[in-house]
Structure 1
Amino acid sequence: MQVQDFLLRSQGDVGNSSHGVRLRQACVLFVQSGVQLLPVFTQLAAALGNSSLVRANFTQPNHSRSQLQQWGLNHGTGEPLQSGGSGELFGSGEAQEEALWWGQRLQMALVNTVNFRGVWQKQFLFTDTQNLPFTLSDGSTIKVPMMHQATEVNFGQFRTSSDQRYTVLELPYLGRSLSLLVALPSDRKTPLSSLESQLTPRAVATWDTGLRRTKMDVFLPR
């Protein structure tokens, strides 16, 4: 039942492409070659996933990767899926042994893709882009092209359950049906990873009532 619910939620389009915003989701169920499936399972999975089941050989990671990339091209993303850090389906370099280990045990893989294209409600002008410092996860700083605009946005300050302070900024896309929410630790020396681990669904749900219209300068990496 959990697989059925996931497949039902993970298909179709969200947003309005006529407004310049489109969020397309698709999913596929890869099944190891030789695994026997009940006909009723095959029919239900294909119907719920809005796609046929795809047979794969997980013991050959490179072949599985090619299948995934081709599926990404054919199902709405417009570009091949990129290799990730998971060893289940991809094998290269240090991940090769892990991929082979998983390939000998993996029987099914449910893959979900999300393709998003949007236009800002208020555009960032290219002429306002500046090369400014950006802090990496290891604490070092580099200069990157930063988009900039002086505007009025929804902005709020919050605390995690461990009393860590952070800020949230909302930038709507055209039509305001979807928005980008940016969360950053208030203390610049605090790594983003420490905040990510504490962002629970309950915490995110409080953002709607905690954001206020504020005039400010917004800088984002281009």
Structure 2
Amino acid sequence: MLLLGLLPLMLLRGCGCQAADAPLDVTAEFSVRMYHQLQILGGEENIIFSPLGVELALGMVELGARGSSLEEIRQALGYSNLRQDEEFSLMSNLTRALSVDTYVVRLVNSLFLQTGVRFNKDFLQLMKILFRAEVETVDFSESAAVSEHINSWVENHTESKIHNLVSADDFSSATKIMLVNAMYFRGSWKNQFRPENTRTFSFTKDDGSEVQTLMMYQQGEFYYGEFSDGTTEAGGVYQVLEMLYEGEDMSMMIVLPRQEVPLASLEPIIKAQLLEEWANNVKRQKVEIYLPRFKVEQKMDLKETLQQLGIKNIFTKDADLSAMTAETEDGQNLFIGKVVQKACLEVTEEGAEGAAGSGMIALTRTLVLYPQVMADHPFFFIIRNRKTGSILFMGRVMTPEVIEPFDDNFDM
């Protein structure tokens, strides 16, 4: 499995004109609200984004914010009940909890500063201490060269999986600072799928149409539960499957409605407290799993989404980001011009990058005495740290990787 998340925030100058001890993440509500906003904007498409990436990038902005600009960020992220600045310790501890040997989580942050502008030394120092951010000066008026340089930085920190995050059109002489947050995750399933059990299978989309995809299969011990929202809105009972990665700190949780129930009927009930309920109530038992191999990738301009979540001031010329600049500079004229995230998720038999299998055998639905999770229709998923509750990735699969009849992997 390979997961990637990137979030740059471009700030413009107005034209004057230890893991076991890590605290629980408090931003689950923000993550879910953000998902619902993307759902509204996304139509019937796949969704993939990194809540932790957004949280960290907004945390970097928060370091330089004051007044209502600061309070809007704290309110939206769920930090209002924390002591002032306590969230920075929280974010630092959450990221430290991800540093283990059984999987790879690489969190890298960088500040690209306009040459000639004087920035607050305390702000830059805190960025280095709290976010381990690299600091580099560039000339944003050379937009083509800057975009090429930043895209190269992104590729180098994501194993060349994310390309063309920004373009020359994103920069001008008005751009004064760009904050980039990149996340790379690679993990192997604790219980891997056997490639020889993978074969083509029909996946039924919510509109009733079918596509052919590669379906992985295995039987084994997994965390599983059946839940009901108490109404008919979500089709009554739905399934939750949690699959662990090696080391058991990280997991993928899959939420699957009944075959005849569209995912859109289940999505409205998803709430932060429900994520915790799923995690606390799935039980280890023998399960038969049919899960499509899939890859989802998405680039999104998140400005509108964040505005809908209450973070508005930083996008206007009334923004107060004066803590970023030296006293001799006019920090009152800084504001956020653009927020972009690009994320990629790939799920294979081994869970690791590049896994594949060409041998296939016929699979049929059989009468079994234990639960069967048949993900041959749209489903919701999250990738989370089981100790801290932090959500690295959240999304949905409306259409998996499609196998065409002329594809070498297509089994007639």
TM-score range, shorter chain: 0.7 to 0.9
Query: Could you tell me which of 128, 152, 157 is aligned with 1:46?
Result: 128
CA deviation map 1:15-42 (0-9, x unaligned): 533x4x2222222233445543122222
Q: CA deviation at 1:107?
A: 4.3
- Partner of residue 290, structure 2: 219
TM-score by length of 2: 0.42
Q: Which residue of 1 aligns with 2:275?
A: 204
Distance 1:214 1:35 in 2: 60
Q: Which amino acid aligns with 2:100?
A: N
Summarize deviations over 1:62-87 as a string: whole Å, max 9, x none.
54442333223444x32253346xxx
Q: CA deviation at 1:51?
A: 2.8
Q: Does 1:158 align with 2:203?
A: no
Q: Using CA pairs below 8 Å that are at least 6 residues apart, which structure has the higher relative contact order?
A: 2
Distance 1:187 1:144, change over 3 A: closer
Residue in structure 1 matched with residue 328 of structure 2 by the alignment? none
Question: Secondary structure of the residue that 1:78 maps to in structure 2?
Answer: coil
CA distance in structure 2 between the partners assigned to 1:116 and 1:8 by the alignment: 18
One-letter amino acid matched to 2:148: S
Cα pair 1:131 1:144 within 8 Å, conserved? yes
What are the equivalent positions in structure 2 for 1:13-24 lying under 5 Å apart? 14=98, 16-17=100-101, 19=102, 21-24=103-106
Aligned positions of 1:1-222 closer than 5 A: 2-3=59-60, 4=63, 5=88, 8=92, 14=98, 16-17=100-101, 19=102, 21-56=103-138, 62-75=144-157, 77-79=158-160, 81-83=162-164, 89-90=166-167, 99=170, 107-136=176-205, 139-159=208-228, 163-164=233-234, 165=236, 166-191=238-263, 195-196=266-267, 198-222=269-293
CA distance in 1, matches of 2:250, 2:288: 21
State the shift of 1:206 in Å. 0.9
Instruction: Tell me the secondary structure at the aligned position of residue 14 of structure 1.
Output: coil
| Most deviating of 8-17 and 130-139 | 8-17
**Native 8 Å contact 1:13 1:25 kept in 2:** no
Q: Which runs of 5+ in 2 are unaligned?
A: 1-57, 64-87, 294-412
Distance of 1:212 and 1:90 partners within structure 2: 47
Q: Secondary structure at the match of 1:122?
A: coil
Taking a change above 3 Å as real, the CA distance of residues 128 and 110 of structure 1, as seen in their structure-2 partners, is: same
- Contact (CA 8 Å) 1:12, 1:26: kept in 2 or not? no
Cα distance between partner residues in 1 of 2:276 and 2:186: 24
Unpaired stretches in structure 1, ≥5 consecutive residues: none
Cα 1:136–1:90, aligned 2, differ >3 Å: closer, same or farther? farther
- Kindly indicate whether the alpha-carbon contact (under 8 Å) linking 2:109 and 2:134 is maintained by their aligned counterparts in 1: no
Provide the rounded CA distance (Å) in 2 between the counterparts of 1:67 and 1:136. 40
Q: Please tell me whether the aligned partners of residues 155 and 214 of structure 1 are also in contact (alpha carbons under 8 angstroms).
A: yes
Q: Quick one: structure 1 residues 116 and 161, their matched pair in 2 at CA, closer, same or farther if it must change by over 3 Å?
A: farther
Amino acid at match of 2:162: L
Q: Deviations over 1:134-169 (max 9, x none)?
A: 244665321111111012221123345985253211
Q: Distance in 2 between matches of 1:196 and 1:34?
A: 49
TM-score (norm 1): 0.72
Distance, in Å, in 1 between the alignment partners of 2:273 and 2:144 is 40
Alignment CA distance shift 1:54-1:22 (3 Å): same
**1:171 CA drift (Å):** 0.7
